[in-house]
Amino acid sequence: MNKATRKAIIAGNWKMNKTRPEAKALLEELKGMVADIKTVEIVACVPFTNLETALAATEGTNIKIGAENCHFEKSGAFTGEISADMLAEMGVEYVVLGHSERRQYFAETDETVNKRTKAALAAGLKPIVCVGELLWERECNITEEVIARQIKLDFFGISADDLKKCVIAYEPVWAIGTGKTATADQAEEVCAFIRAQLAKLYGAEVAEAITIQYGGSMNAANAAELVSKTNVDGGLIGGASLKAADFTTIIKAAENG
């Protein structure tokens, strides 16, 4: 299997942006621009408050909707949290898990990412699991150790069949929201390393089938080079997903990549 047979996925991660009217306007604009895209899976991961609006605005289109997090318990006394079942019932398809901002600001650990991934899979959601090294870790030359550890822990106890429902986003933390993109070669190097780790854990066939995205200051200008790389199967896009034209340029780059 090679890149051509894997699903390219371009997912927007809106983070804490957009009110409901703003969300509707952005998706209405995007809808028209990407209507003819067939070979790339387009996903908009939006704040919880926008999910219903986003699902309604994209009904019957080629845009899928995702959430930006979910809790690992099914229900109960977890004030302020949202369960995977709640998302699945709405018709949400994807969920971003283990984003570095969750790890950095909200005490997310590999253990809780693992629990959330299992909960999301049990609810029938497709997790987009984020991994990536800090700048300090890259400078200390331990990027591979960090990534190998995250992959082992985040997917611990997850079967090959379930892994195939997951997307992995390689997001070097130093590149997120900084305008400092990894070079295409750096992105390829780590995405290939992730695939090699998956091959060790699950076998080559499974590893070859998994979509691995790059994320971190991906934009309309640099997307084509990034997604042209053998092991980069799309992107998780923050800032540039908030502008329909830029997001569309990235999606079109993935269609040709």
Residues found near ligand PGA in the complex (CB under 6 A): 13, 171, 176-177, 215-218, 236-240
Measured from the CB atom, is 202 or 219 closer to ligand PGA? 219
CB of 79 to ligand PGA, least distance (A): 26
User: Is 99 among the residues known to form the active site?
Assistant: yes
Sole residue written with tokens 């800032």 = 239
Distance of alpha carbon 35 from the chain centroid: 21
CA–CA distance from 111 to each of 115, 116, 151, 173 (Å)?
A: 6, 9, 11, 19
Sole residue written with tokens 């995007």 = 30
Sole residue written with tokens 């590149």 = 175
Q: Return the H-helix or E-strand segment holding 44.
A: strand 40-45
The Cα 232–Cα 191 span in angstroms is 6
Residue type, 145: E
CB of 86 to ligand PGA, least distance (A): 23
CB of 13 to ligand PGA, least distance (A): 4
Measured from the CB atom, is 13 or 53 closer to ligand PGA? 13
User: Is 71 among the residues known to form the active site?
Assistant: no
**Nearest-CB residue for ligand PGA:** 238
Of the residues 41, 68, 137, 171, only one is catalytic, namely 171
Of the residues 41, 68, 71, 99, only one is catalytic, namely 99
Measured from the CB atom, is 32 or 177 closer to ligand PGA? 177
Catalytic residue numbers read 99, 171
